[in-house]
Structure 1
Amino acid sequence: MTLRALLIGAQTFGLSGVHSDVQLMEQVLHGRGFEDIRTRVDDGACYHAIIESLDALARDTGPQDGVVLYYSGHGSLQDRPDAAEQARARRSPYLHYLVPTDLSDTTRGDFRGLLVEELTAAVRGLTAITPNVTVVLDCCHAGGAVRDPQTAVRSVSQDVPPDAALARADRLFATELSAPDPSVVRLTACQRHERAYEAPSLRRPGKRHGLFTEELAHLLDATREHPVPWAVLMAQVQDQVAQRMPQRPDLGGPHSARLPFSTTTTAHARQLPLLWRGHRLVVPGGAVLGLAKDDVVALTAPGEAPDEAPRAEVTAVLGADAELEPPPESPEPDVRAVLVRTHVRKHIALDGDGPLVDALRPALSRSAGLAEAGPVDRPFATVRTRDSSVVVTDRAGFAFRAPVPDDPSYLEHLLSLLEELARGERLRALPDGVGEARLDAEVEAVFERLSHGRPPQRLRSGDRLTEGDQYRVQVVNHSPYPLFLWLLDVGLSGRTALVTHDEPSGCLLQAAGRAGDVWNSGWVDIYWPQDVPYDGPRPETLTVLAADRAADLSSLATPGWLAQRGSVPACLERVAGEILTGTRDARPALADGFRYKVLRCDTEVEPRPPGDDTKDGGLGT
């Protein structure tokens, strides 16, 4: 058996961290035992060179080999001219492709983009040889974007003739990359309509990396001696990336319980290794995997359900290891830890000292959902003490609210604000349901914006709105059964609003082909709340939650969830709990649980230009 990898880096249109991504992945895969690693950058990442490299990889791969396909660069997603006709035929309405280094050489008869249909066909050719195939894509899947949070968003949608691309896609008759061969493990930097970013490295001074590549490589390296399933590793990657930018990596394929780069699966997708070190029971690398003090794990033997296993609490984090409270009897050697409850903390940085911050520190240490940021944590908010006052600022340095006096009597007010902001942050990062909570339904959300004097335009993640603009969402059900949906908005103030508050139990979306299979929100106003300082831009996240049944979700936008638990489905209790309190219960979803998926658009709102007299009104979040 040979482990082989093809690493493609197309550094185009302003990107500067792609070559570093390829070098980093090459190092990590060498450490993971890969013997045949083929890197393709510059001219080696042009369209025809990529096709030749994929063909050569297939020729050299044997039935027992493991294969990784990795791509770093730009991705593009554009509406086809015949989008409506394609949708009626149950085919993709998008022209979706990766961007080789020679895309600009496209002519009307020669398209130089790598269509996802072509990549899918290449992957299926590999899975016909070996079941051990992993695809890793660190690129934008929206309509062109740069992976650089320090510059303006740039589009890779060059003025290239689409004729040859459309003809090539029609010839292939393949499904999109979102539904490739079921045996493929797919790791993507973001969801299809979202953007991916690159930034200066946190661990390699002077280097730039894709956020996704850097976190994935770090965790693959940290778990090299004690491998954990993809589901465990990717959950931490998702959390770390989301703390830096509005970007949600995704894990696809049915084998989330697989160990990386193998066909070996664990008995439970959330299993963690256990070791005895002296008289201490530890989860090696547990801190890297997200464990923290007071988290609870079940000590499961092979074939044992986590609900029936004894519990152990994390008593300390020593270096990278999580130390557990030893159980009354020593566990057997093959026992593993399964996460049962973890406090999903959002980190707060403290800048300056004073009476209010001195009172805040011990309060944060007792909080289930908040924690003071350490040297390597990425805070979503900073509490700053200046001139006898305290203010909470966001990642860009803008104040969430007006300053308050540096007086301990304002502690409850400050904690309430931080917890409210943390709830919004958790909703911004809410992933799709997993396991039995996963909604396997084809549903599409189209976001649009309306600016003064302009016709409606498509609104994509990364776009910027202006105060006074309006947005609307159209949701289309392509599945054969009815669904329910909710529209939530985490506004520029950090508050969460249930836009569909008039139907808190969900708006009915009929099955495809029936009247009512399309839902439209109508136009929703964006305005600047009076208690938010007038500067920006500030993030605004629009979230559509689609599910297979009705449920009253009004509590997701209010702090009163704990008093209303009885109205929330058992499986959704864990979702609401994670958003509202920061506590995630990782027990398996109930068979009759709430199945859901998330469709999201991350935007920014900036103040209206001077002299614009647009009237106030609307959502005001």
Structure 2
Amino acid sequence: MARRALLIGSATGGLTGVARDIESMGELLDGRGFEIRELTGANATRAGILDGYEKLIADCASPDTAFVYYSGHGGIVRPLATDAATPAGDIPRDLQFIVPTDIEASTPADFLGILDTELAVLLARLLERTENAVVMLDCCHAAHMARDPQLRPRALPRLSYLDLADNLERRRKAGLQVDLLPALGNRGVRLVACAPEQSAYEYPNRDGVTAGIFTEAFRAALSEAGTAPVTWSTLMRRIRDRTLTLAPEQRPEVEGNSARLLFEVETAERTDAVPIAWVAGTRASIPGAALLGIGAGDRFAVMPAGAVRVDDATTIAVATVAAARGAAAEAILEFRPGHAAVPIGAQAHPLSAAARRRPVASGGTGPFAERLRAALAAAPTLRPAGPDDGVLLADVEFTGDAAVIRDAAGPLTRPVPADDAGIGQLVTMLGRLARSATLRELAPAPDEVLDEEFGVEWGRVVDGAAVPMTPSGALVHAGDAVYVRLRNDSDRRLYFFVFDLGVSGVIDLLTQDDPSGLRIDPGREYVLGARDGVLEGSAVSWPAAVPAGAARPEALLVLVTAARQELAVLQQEGITDAGSAKRFEEIRRDGSALERALADIVLGGEREVARARGRPVVRYAAQRVEFLLSPLPRPTPEVATFLVDERPERSIRLLGARDAAPATPVAIRLRELVVHRNRAWGGSDIRVDALIVTGGGDGDVPVYRAGTARFGNVRDGDRLPLDNLLVYHGPAVGYLDLAWWVSRDRTASRALGDLLAERLNAAEFTAAAAQLAGLAVAAPQAAAAVAAVGAAAIVVNTAYRLLSEAVGDSIGIYRTSFLAGEDFGIGRHPRDGLLRAQDFSYSYEIVGVG
């Protein structure tokens, strides 16, 4: 039985961690007996990747093991609102793809990315050769910025429109075996870095080497697993824990047959028992401890081989974990009468688990730092970080007679005085962060999963209307009004709880009016943020205790249960009086597994693992909405609409790096414009208006240029004589925004530049910038980005209104924006051919002239 691994690394679009990923995966899999086949650089082109995959398929046969790994960018093209259904009547779907190293050579007729359908067909063909196939993709398709400026998304932030659907159809006609896809089902195993709407990131690891977060977490988890019989679902839990700590907005998943043992087709029987090896005397070792989440203080009943549950009559010993270092845990045995050794094949069944304690770095010196570390060691959910802790909850930084809690994005607290009261404040704040981090990982056990269907939608409220947002990666601004729509799609009554996991770690129950669960009957819905049938939303605010600076992750956790539950305990921060002590005692004694789990998150300490006989099982589901909260107000919105809008996702525009780089002189030319059908204006005269906006003006006033070209008696199919129309020649500073309109020309209508010069004035920009003045010192880059986006919106909105007044209806055919880090988009767009927007096709170029 052979083991083969195809490792594909495509370092495009500024990624710097791919080489490290391929090297570390090669070393890891080589140690497990895999024959390594690497495709990088010039070998990781579309043709090279497909050829390498074909050779892997040809070489494999049952019962061989095949592992396919990809590190690089992913991409997605979503259908425009103007895209029609397919000839078969199907609604156009999002097209996802991976990005080979020759992606830039794509043309509209020959797209060189590898589409998700092609990858699925390749896997289906591989599974025909051997059932033991695993695919791992460390990339993503949705590009969002993260809280940590060192995290780089593994998705292309923009995609020039190429007709991928036509490419896919041509490949189907050329023999792509899409008929294999229905049979793919649950066969094989697929490890993905995140959900389709999320971003995956690379980061500088503890050694300062840039690598994929998902790949690093996989490498660490697989190393911890050693030779233990571990399933892919168990491995993914450990990978997910490490990933969420670094990037809460990235949630890896395992798809397919996750119950299989690693690199095997055999599936594991579900059991909570783990192997235990007797060392000598009262010492024992539990392999794979870190992977299984076993920590110091956990207690196990050692049972004979074959035992399916804990039975006092046959218990050999009780094992208490003394330390969990590396891959194994060291346990101390308390033998029951008549036993003095652990027989071969015995297993450890969990009795209780100590609270997971999150590591906190505190590298200061002196009495205050020592007292803080002692307080961390005594806290039930915290501990001082050790040399082997690669992923930290936070770092406490000492500055003179004060301390500040920090993470990679900056300070999380204002300075806390270096005294006993200050230590209490720090431990309280860190405890909140620990509880929030643990709650983000909450998931039901297999026998607690709620099967009933329900829906969760969230978004902003704008002028009384709902504007839905994605469940991950959205950028929300302080002052935004948001809503949450909860829907029961099942045929039984369900109970909903909505918690806000705040920037500072504070946990709020948003359904406070129904603390034991918001009841929603079958087929009904409830909207948080609606009152008396009017959608108002609830305003989002930035916590006063957290310094205003970079945008930070916040989350909504929606818990759905099949019965009423007492979950409001999550809002508490421990036992505060006799009443709360009694309530926690009742929950831990009589509560459901979910109630006890949430109480344990609050209190820490030891929790019972084995479910008492007769205690009811309450099924539940946990759904998260992950977003970034900015302390800055929302910039002025654009009201103009465009047939094609290729601007990057909002978080890229608002949180992406805006380096203080020198101005780049550019020239922008509209090369071609074809009017396929002049149906709106019936062969009349047409005007084309182009608007360019960039930074670099005095104060907060942007630099803009507008150009107008006029054409007479335009008929269907006419290619307008643009003669490489020059629409801008000058410096690009910070950003470069473009907008094109096509309108019916009217007699004596004035050029767009003249209209703007008359109506647009600096006062509008000054007013828009005034709201940022208080935050510009604390977050200068963020404030500058919001000001730039808002300023561009003012110019575009004004241009749209003026055109509407001058010539009537105008068609916005194109809108885009480039940042300095993208070299201001220098090049031809599209690279070849024309960009189609309904009745128009066009191309333009941006040329560096320095």
What TM-score do the two structures reach when normalised by structure 2? 0.62
Structure 2 partner of 1:611: 770
Deviations 1:176-222 (A, max 9, x none): 999963232332222332221111233xx463210111121133234
Structure 1 partner of 2:261: 259
Structure 1 CA distance for aligned equivalents of residues 264 and 347 of structure 2: 19
Q: Tell me how far 1:313 sits from its aligned partner.
A: 0.9
Deviations 1:145-189 (A, max 9, x none): 799851676743411224526964997997999996323233222
Task: Report the CA distance shift for 1:342/1:138 in structure 2 as closer, same or farther (over 3 A).
Answer: farther
Equivalent pair of 1:540/1:605 in contact (CA under 8 Å): no
Q: Which has the larger radius of gyration?
A: 2
Task: Report the CA distance shift for 1:558/1:117 in structure 2 as closer, same or farther (over 3 A).
Answer: farther
Matches within 5 A, 1:78-89: 79-81=78-80
Deviations 1:5-36 (A, max 9, x none): 2222222222111232122212111111113x
Q: In the alignment, does 2:294 pair up with 1:282?
A: no
Structure 1 partner of 2:370: 358
Matches within 5 A, 1:3-22: 3-22=3-22
Task: Report the CA distance shift for 1:46/1:339 in structure 2 as closer, same or farther (over 3 A).
Answer: farther
- 2:392 pairs with one of 379, 392, 407: 379
Structure 2 CA distance for aligned equivalents of residues 148 and 414 of structure 1: 22
Deviations 1:525-551 (A, max 9, x none): 222233333333332223333445553
Q: In the alignment, does 2:594 pair up with 1:572?
A: yes
Q: In the alignment, does 2:490 pair up with 1:331?
A: no
Amino acid at match of 1:448: G
Structure 2 CA distance for aligned equivalents of residues 17 and 566 of structure 1: 47
Structure 2 CA distance for aligned equivalents of residues 464 and 486 of structure 1: 23
| 3-state SS of 1:543 partner | strand
Structure 2 CA distance for aligned equivalents of residues 350 and 575 of structure 1: 29
Matches within 5 A, 1:501-580: 501-507=512-518, 514=523, 516=525, 523-559=537-573, 563=583, 566=587, 570-577=592-599, 579-580=601-602
Q: Tell me how far 1:233 sits from its aligned partner.
A: 3.0
Matches within 5 A, 1:207-606: 207-246=209-248, 247-256=250-259, 258-268=260-270, 270-279=272-281, 280-284=283-287, 286-287=289-290, 290-308=293-311, 311-317=318-324, 321-328=328-335, 329=339, 330-340=341-351, 341-377=353-389, 378-400=391-413, 402-427=414-439, 429-440=440-451, 445-449=456-460, 456=467, 458-459=469-470, 461-474=472-485, 484-507=495-518, 514=523, 516=525, 523-559=537-573, 563=583, 566=587, 570-577=592-599, 579-582=601-604, 586-587=609-610, 592-606=617-631
Structure 2 CA distance for aligned equivalents of residues 492 and 175 of structure 1: 47
Amino acid at match of 1:299: V
| 3-state SS of 2:123 partner | helix
| 3-state SS of 2:437 partner | helix
| 3-state SS of 2:246 partner | coil
| 3-state SS of 1:243 partner | helix
| 3-state SS of 2:20 partner | helix
Task: Report the CA distance shift for 1:209/1:110 in structure 2 as closer, same or farther (over 3 A).
Answer: same
Task: Report the CA distance shift for 1:132/1:194 in structure 2 as closer, same or farther (over 3 A).
Answer: same
Structure 2 CA distance for aligned equivalents of residues 78 and 338 of structure 1: 49
Task: Report the CA distance shift for 1:92/1:265 in structure 2 as closer, same or farther (over 3 A).
Answer: farther
Structure 1 partner of 2:24: 24
Equivalent pair of 1:364/1:371 in contact (CA under 8 Å): yes
**Large movers: runs of 4+ above 6 Å:** 82-86, 89-92, 144-148, 169-179, 450-455, 476-482, 517-521, 588-591
Equivalent pair of 1:185/1:251 in contact (CA under 8 Å): yes
Name stretches of at least 5 consecutive residues in structure 1 with no aligned partner: 616-621
Structure 1 CA distance for aligned equivalents of residues 379 and 182 of structure 2: 39
Structure 2 partner of 1:192: 196
Structure 2 CA distance for aligned equivalents of residues 426 and 77 of structure 1: 32
Structure 2 partner of 1:182: 186
Amino acid at match of 1:611: A
Equivalent pair of 2:565/2:595 in contact (CA under 8 Å): no
Deviations 1:99-146 (A, max 9, x none): 333444444444444333333333233333433222212112435679
Name stretches of at least 5 consecutive residues in structure 2 with no aligned partner: 575-579, 636-768, 775-850
Q: Tell me how far 1:287 sits from its aligned partner.
A: 4.6
Structure 2 CA distance for aligned equivalents of residues 175 and 298 of structure 1: 51
Equivalent pair of 1:149/1:198 in contact (CA under 8 Å): no
Amino acid at match of 2:127: T
Structure 2 partner of 1:618: none
More deviation in 52-61 or 209-218? 52-61
Matches within 5 A, 1:37-76: 37-76=36-75
Structure 1 partner of 2:120: 120
More deviation in 183-192 or 91-100? 91-100
Structure 1 partner of 2:778: none
Q: Tell me how far 1:64 sits from its aligned partner.
A: 1.0
Structure 1 CA distance for aligned equivalents of residues 566 and 84 of structure 2: 34
Task: Report the CA distance shift for 1:68/1:419 in structure 2 as closer, same or farther (over 3 A).
Answer: same
| 3-state SS of 1:215 partner | helix
Amino acid at match of 1:425: A
Structure 1 CA distance for aligned equivalents of residues 185 and 167 of structure 2: 23
| 3-state SS of 1:501 partner | coil
More deviation in 61-70 or 565-574? 565-574
Structure 1 CA distance for aligned equivalents of residues 169 and 493 of structure 2: 34
| 3-state SS of 1:536 partner | coil
Q: How many residues align?
A: 605
Amino acid at match of 1:209: A
Structure 2 CA distance for aligned equivalents of residues 255 and 235 of structure 1: 11
CA RMSD of aligned residues (A): 4.2
Task: Report the CA distance shift for 1:421/1:33 in structure 2 as closer, same or farther (over 3 A).
Answer: same
Amino acid at match of 2:363: D
Equivalent pair of 1:536/1:607 in contact (CA under 8 Å): no
Structure 1 partner of 2:777: none
Structure 1 CA distance for aligned equivalents of residues 376 and 147 of structure 2: 33
| 3-state SS of 2:438 partner | helix
Structure 2 CA distance for aligned equivalents of residues 403 and 485 of structure 1: 38
Equivalent pair of 2:235/2:291 in contact (CA under 8 Å): no
Structure 2 CA distance for aligned equivalents of residues 165 and 584 of structure 1: 57
Structure 2 CA distance for aligned equivalents of residues 380 and 263 of structure 1: 37
Structure 2 partner of 1:161: 162
